[in-house]
C-alpha cells in the first residue's frame, strides 16, 4: 500500500501528460460530454414521443443513441475526474468493468451500423415490402442481435485481458483501460492473445463492412435506375448521414484494432481513441438530426409544446 494505492491498481496517465492547458481541455471535454448526453437523450425522447418517428429506421437510431450515451459515460467521467485529481488510479476490477463496457458498446455499434445499412437497402430497393421485411418483431431481433454480438465480444476478451500477468509498472499511458494500452504492461508473452484479439476485431469489422458494402452497392444500382430526380435526392439524403457516421466510426476503429502495432505511437492512439470515444458520440445525433427533416420537425413540435405548456403555467400563476 502506497498513498492509498494497492499493488493491483493501475494508474491512468491521462489524455495529455503534463499539459499546461488542462483547464481548457477539461472545459472542452466536459462541454462535449454534456452536448453528447443531451443530444442523444433528446433523440431517444423524440423518437419515443413522435408517432412520425415510429419507423424501423428511427427505432435503430434510438438504439444507436442509447449505445452512444453509455459509450461516452464509460470513459469520459473518469477522465474528467482524473484531470482534477492527484490520484489517477483505477482499481483492477474497475479497469475490467471499463474494458467490458467499452468492448460491448463498440461491438454493438459495429453490428448496429451494419444492420442500419440493411434497413436502408430494404427501404430504397424494396419499398413495397419494407413494412413486412422490417416489422416490429424483426427490428427487435436485429437490435437484440447487435447487443448480443457486442456483449459476446466483451465476455470473450475481458476475462483473457484481466488474466494476463501484470508486473512492474502499472502506469497505463492512456486515459482509460483500452486493451492495447493495458497489454503493454504485461510481463508475459501476450502475442497469442494479441493475435486472437486481432482476428476477433477483424471479423467484427469485416462482417458489418460486408453488409454495408453490399447494401450500398445495391442501393447505388437502384438509385442509378431511378427516373425521378426527387427520388434520387431522397435516397441520397437518407443514406448520406449513415455513410458519414460509418466512415468516422469504422475509420478510427480500423486504426486502433486492425493496423499493426508498428504503425502506432501512444500519443496517436490516445488522439484516435479520444475521437471515437468522445467526439463520435456527440457527432452521431447531430449528423442524424441536422440533416433530417423528420427529426427537426419533431424537435420543433416538441419545443413548441414545451413553450405552450410553460406559457399556460405562467398565466395560471
Given its phi and psi angles, is residue 5 left (phi above 0), alpha (psi -120 to 50 degrees) or beta?
beta
User: φ and ψ at 305, to 5 degrees?
Assistant: -65, -45
- Per-residue pLDDT of the chain (317 residues), as tens digits, is 444 445 578 999 888 766 677 888 899 999 999 999 999 999 999 999 888 889 999 999 999 999 999 999 999 999 999 988 888 899 999 999 999 999 999 999 999 999 999 998 998 888 899 999 999 999 999 999 999 999 998 999 999 888 888 877 788 888 999 888 898 888 888 888 888 888 888 888 888 889 988 988 888 888 877 777 776 776 777 677 778 788 887 887 777 777 776 667 777 888 888 888 898 899 888 887 766 777 888 878 877 777 766 666 666 55
Query: Can you read off the three cell numbers belonging to residue 181?
Result: 494500452
CA 160/CA 157 separation, integer angstroms: 5
Query: Hey, what's the cell of 259?
Result: 493496423
- Scanning the chain, the segments in alpha helix (DSSP H) are 22-49, 56-83, 92-125, 130-133, 136-163, 179-183, 191-225, 229-257, 266-274, 280-290, 293-316
Measured between alpha carbons, how far apart are the two ends of the chain, in Å? 60
Q: Which residues pair with 89 in a beta bridge?
A: 11
- Owner of C-alpha cell 405562467: 314
Note the pLDDT of residue 317: 55
Taking a C-beta distance cutoff of 8 angstroms, is the pair 112, 146 a contact? yes
What pLDDT is stored for residue 240 in this prediction? 77
- Selection from 169, 181, 175, 3 nearest residue 86 by Cα: 3
- pLDDT for 164 equals 86
Neighbours of 88 (CB within 10 A): 19
Closest of 13, 12, 14, 39 to residue 274, by C-alpha:
14
Amino acid at each position: 500500500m502506497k498513498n492509498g494505492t494497492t499493488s493491483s491498481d493501475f494508474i491512468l496517465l491521462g489524455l495529455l501528460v503534463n499539459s499546461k492547458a488542462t483547464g481548457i481541455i477539461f472545459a472542452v471535454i466536459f462541454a462535449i460530454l454534456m452536448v453528447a448526453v443531451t443530444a442523444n437523450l433528446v433523440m431517444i425522447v423524440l423518437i419515443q414521443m413522435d408517432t412520425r418517428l415510429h419507423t424501423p429506421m428511427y427505432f435503430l437510431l434510438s438504439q444507436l443513441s442509447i449505445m452512444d450515451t453509455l459509450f461516452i459515460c464509460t470513459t469520459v467521467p473518469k477522465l474528467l475526474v482524473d484531470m482534477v485529481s492527484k490520484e489517477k488510479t483505477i482499481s483492477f476490477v474497475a479497469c475490467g468493468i471499463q474494458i467490458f463496457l467499452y468492448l460491448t458498446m463498440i461491438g454493438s455499434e459495429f453490428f448496429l451500423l451494419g444492420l442500419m445499412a440493411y434497413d436502408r437497402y430494404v427501404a430504397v430497393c424494396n419499398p413495397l415490402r419494407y413494412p413486412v421485411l422490417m416489422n416490429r418483431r424483426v427490428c427487435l431481433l436485429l437490435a437484440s442481435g447487435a447487443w448480443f454480438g457486442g456483449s459476446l465480444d466483451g465476455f470473450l476478451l475481458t476475462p483473457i485481458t484481466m488474466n494476463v500477468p501484470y508486473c512492474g509498472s502499472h502506469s497505463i499511458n492512456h486515459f482509460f483501460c483500452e486493451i492495447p494500452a493495458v497489454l503493454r504492461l504485461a510481463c508475459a508473452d501476450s502475442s497469442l492473445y494479441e493475435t486472437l484479439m486481432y482476428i476477433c476485431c477483424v471479423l467484427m469489422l469485416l462482417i458489418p463492412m460486408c453488409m454495408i458494402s453490399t447494401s450500398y452497392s445495391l442501393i447505388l444500382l437502384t438509385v442509378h435506375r431511378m427516373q425521378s430526380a426527387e427520388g434520387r435526392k431522397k435516397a441520397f439524403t437518407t443514406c448520406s448521414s449513415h455513410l458519414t457516421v460509418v466512415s468516422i466510426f469504422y475509420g478510427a476503429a480500423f486504426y486502433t484494432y486492425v493496423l499493426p502495432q508498428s504503425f502506432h505511437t501512444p500519443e496517436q492512439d490516445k488522439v484516435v481513441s479520444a475521437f471515437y470515444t468522445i467526439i463520435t458520440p456527440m457527432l452521431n445525433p447531430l449528423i442524424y438530426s441536422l440533416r433530417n427533416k423528420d427529426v427537426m420537425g419533431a424537435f420543433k413540435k416538441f419545443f413548441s409544446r414545451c413553450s405552450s405548456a410553460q406559457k399556460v403555467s405562467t398565466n395560471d400563476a
